[in-house]
């Protein structure tokens, strides 16, 4: 998780106008992270105000799909 968290923080620092969700989505893109790591990191890093709680399951599904390496 340290690599993901580091990438996330770097993206937020370089793009101060981004929401935590956008930075997280970019950090996981194409990296091949496991479902468990994505869920754990999402809960830790993404601010609750940056997504609609009822959409969390859908967002996690989208993140899992985009993390698959091409």
CB of 21 within 8 A of CB of 51? yes
Q: Which domain holds residue 11?
A: 2-67
State pTM to two decimals: 0.91
- In percent, the amount of the chain with pLDDT more than 70 equals 97
1-29: per-residue pLDDT in tens?
889 999 999 999 999 999 999 999 999 99
CB of 67 within 8 A of CB of 29? yes
Count of domains forming the chain? 1
């Amino acid at each position: 998780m340290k690599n993901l968290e580091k990438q996330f923080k770097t993206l937020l620092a370089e793009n101060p106008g981004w929401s935590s969700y956008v930075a997280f989505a970019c950090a996981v893109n194409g990296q091949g992270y496991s479902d468990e790591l994505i869920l754990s990191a999402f809960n830790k890093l993404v601010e609750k105000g940056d997504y609609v709680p009822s959409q969390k399951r859908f967002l996690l599904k989208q993140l899992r799909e985009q993390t698959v390496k091409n």
